[in-house]
Amino acid sequence: MVPLKYNVRSLGARWVGSLMTVLGTALVVWASTLAFGLVDGLNHTLAISGDPLDVICMRQGATSETNSVVDEAVARQVATLDRIATDSSGNPLWSPELVVIVNSPRRADDTKANVILRGVTPAARQLRPGFQIVEGVDAMPGVRQAIASRTMAKRFKNAGLGEDIDVLGNKFRVVGIFDAGQSATDSEVWTDLEVLAQASHRTAFLSSIQFRATDEAARDQLIDRISTDEQFALKAMTEQDYFAEQAAAGDAIKIIGYFIAIVLLVGAMFAVANTMFGAVASRAREIGTLRAIGFSRRTILVSFLLESLLLCLAGGLLGILGTLPLNGLSTGTANWSTFSELTFSFRFGAAVLIQALGLVVIMGLLGGLFPAIRATRLKIVDALREI
């Protein structure tokens, strides 16, 4: 086995070329890790948005709440079903909800995007994971007041504390800021159900019903009852299944992210290969000497592959470190199921870092393979003539 310090010294002797390769690899890994972190952040937001016992009911055939219409009388019938969980006061944990899309300008550049304004009752707060008011106060029932998520308040004009959101000519004053633990609820603004229904002229209809079952068996039974009973004519599913469908609608982001990573990977492999071919050409006599004193072709192959890996690992670690300041940074994209803004944060957890390191290993092995093979094919006599 060729000592590792030989490879390290060889890289140092060609420090300009080595440095350029390291920086190029770092840029590729940085961009790829950003793409992986974007996808992971989106998946995480949708994955934590549903409780295993929570059920959402919409109109049959609806793909999201924004294109669902539920008769309020039917919703109240659902609330009377057995085995729906209750709160500390014995009231059923169910929430009739109305969703209205509001076109609002972003703070960054004044471009407009659709924002979900959700009309709710107090029970909705108990059905959302980690929901809490972090600034101001909660919206009062029967009053044109609203509460916005901390993320939406930062991203959109008219959604900050003390600002007014326009809903079909009606002004809703934002009196509080809430946090919902990075779930999909953090992409919404909330107000009182009845007030929103009056403002949007939808007093007899809802967008969805949400409730919590007492246990898994009750959940499955209720879903079957609601989905098959013509009395309800509703589509019922677990919230987890609902958000899984939303995640499927975001597959375009994942495809683009991985496509970018693959394109960058191919470019980086050519750069690494170019550097290693140069190393082989400039060290022909060293290779011949190593072969002459007894090192096998396999040992030479492993040595050059290891050198290629060292280059890529140095660049990979630099690229990964460059993404860490962006961990948790909020961003957003269009949710093509609801045609509204979905906010989430970059996440650079273990899964993302493993993917990034996998890219580094692929770059090192494939980028260094052909130069390493070339090194093993050098004839000892021809290589020693370089002395």
pLDDT digits (tens, 9 = 90+) for 9-45: 666 667 677 788 888 888 889 988 988 888 888 887 8
Residue, of 296 and 2, whose pLDDT is higher: 296
Residues 369 and 313 sit within 8 Å (Cβ to Cβ): no
Report residue 270's pLDDT band, with 50, 70 and 90 as the boundaries. Answer: confident
Place of tokens 């309800």: 232
Count of positions (residues) in the chain? 387
Q: Is the pLDDT of residue 299 over 70?
A: yes
Q: What is the pLDDT of residue 99?
A: 95
Burial of 155 (0-12, 13-18, 19+ CB in 10 A): buried
Residues 159 and 190 sit within 8 Å (Cβ to Cβ): no
Report residue 271's pLDDT band, with 50, 70 and 90 as the boundaries. Answer: confident
Q: What is the pLDDT of residue 365?
A: 86
Mean residue pLDDT of the chain comes to 85
Q: Is the pLDDT of residue 49 over 90?
A: no
Place of tokens 């109305």: 98
Beta strand pairing status for 112-120 and 188-192?
parallel
Residues 236 and 223 sit within 8 Å (Cβ to Cβ): yes
Q: What is the pLDDT of residue 209?
A: 95
Sign of CA dihedral 69, 67, 174, 335: positive
Alpha-carbon distance of 184 to 112, in angstroms, equals 20
Q: What is the pLDDT of residue 17?
A: 73
Residue, of 333 and 127, whose pLDDT is higher: 127
Alpha-carbon distance of 381 to 274, in angstroms, equals 25
Mean pLDDT computed over 161-168: 91
pTM for the model: 0.79
Report residue 89's pLDDT band, with 50, 70 and 90 as the boundaries. Answer: confident
Alpha-carbon distance of 139 to 107, in angstroms, equals 23
- Tokens found for residue 112: 């407009």
Backbone dihedral angles phi then psi of residue 111, each to the nearest 5 degrees:
-70, 150
Alpha-carbon distance of 36 to 48, in angstroms, equals 18
